[in-house]
Amino acid sequence: DVKVTQSSRYLVKRTGEKVFLECVQDMDHENMFWYRQDPGLGLRLIYFSYDVKMKEKGDIPEGYSVSREKKERFSLILESASTNQTSMYLCASSNRVNEQFFGPGTRLTVL
Amino acid sequence: GQQVMQIPQYQHVQEGEDFTTYCNSSTTLSNIQWYKQRPGGHPVFLIQLVKSGEVKKQKRLTFQFGEAKKNSSLHITATQTTDVGTYFCAESNYAGGTSYGKLTFGQGTILTVHP
């Protein structure tokens, strides 16, 4: 059974903290993605990676960075968390133009 | 960048009624994927449409891709309470080799089914 896992389902952080969200996939997929989901706005792409150590900005990269040191792992980093980064964060992986497989999501609250 | 507009934002139906959500674009779409997200869950892939005028069925679900590849629809016949959730369309971006697999999502349609 294919799987995308995320390090936390729920996370509460304070403004200014550095936050790491981890995502691991076991399908040997080339592509990995980080989205945030907010009511009425759908899924918005933050960053994606098509290979190890490669990354590209999505539609809303400001305030975020990413790291992909291994093929199966893609990390999202909030260098200095702010309240407007309170959201649901979803990781996904895919092979080229095929379907994306999503993780369960991390609901992040920044106080 | 490419924008995919999805309507309606919300749809409330009685169990047994039909439901349709629409995706529209001002430019030609490469292909369309559809996802379903149950309440509290994550998006799950339903189907991909590639060809102009394509129609695909999955039990009570019918997916269509417009002749001009500028719109798509998902129709559910005789809704059931298990159909509750948010339905998203998404375009796969063929903008270049490194962008393969990147999706642009519509805003989603939230379906509520009253028993």
Q: Quick check: is A76 in a domain?
A: yes
> Smallest CA–CA separation between A4 and chain B, in Å?
11
The CATH number for A83's domain is 2.60.40.10
A21-78 pLDDT, tens per residue?
999 999 999 999 999 999 888 899 999 998 898 999 999 999 999 999 999 999 999 9
Nearest to A50 among B6, B9, B98 (CB): B98
B 35-54 residues inside an 8 A Cβ radius of A: 41-45, 48
What pLDDT band is residue A88 in, cutting at 50, 70 and 90?
A: very high
How many degrees, rounded to 5, is the angle at CA B39 between CA B38 and CA B45? 25
Q: What is the pLDDT averaged over residues A96-104?
A: 85
Structural domain total, chain A: 1
Q: Which residues of B touch A44 (CB under 8 A)?
A: 105
Q: Quick check: is A106 in a domain?
A: no
Please report the beta strands in B1-115, taking only residues with DSSP state E, as ranges in sequence order.
Answer: 5-7, 10-14, 19-24, 32-37, 44-49, 55-58, 61-65, 71-76, 85-93, 102-105, 109-114
Supply the DSSP string of B22-37, one letter for each residue.
EEE-SS--S-EEEEEE
Neighbours of B109 (CB within 10 A): 22
B6-62 pLDDT, tens per residue?
999 999 999 999 999 999 998 898 889 999 999 999 999 999 999 999 999 999 999
How high is the pLDDT of residue B3?
79
- Going by C-beta distance under 8 Å and a sequence separation of 6 or more, which residues neighbour residue B81? B15, B113, B115
Of the listed ranges A6-15, A49-58, A73-82, B75-84, the least confidently predicted one is A49-58
What pLDDT band is residue A93 in, cutting at 50, 70 and 90?
A: very high
What pLDDT band is residue B94 in, cutting at 50, 70 and 90?
A: low
Phi, psi (deg, nearest 5) at residue B59: 55, -115
How high is the pLDDT of residue B93?
66
Q: Quick check: is A90 in a domain?
A: yes
Q: Which residues of B touch A53 (CB under 8 A)?
A: none
What is the domain range of residue A37? 4-101
Structural domains in chain B, sorted by start: 5-114 (2.60.40.10)
Q: Quick check: is A111 in a domain?
A: no
Q: Quick check: is A107 in a domain?
A: no
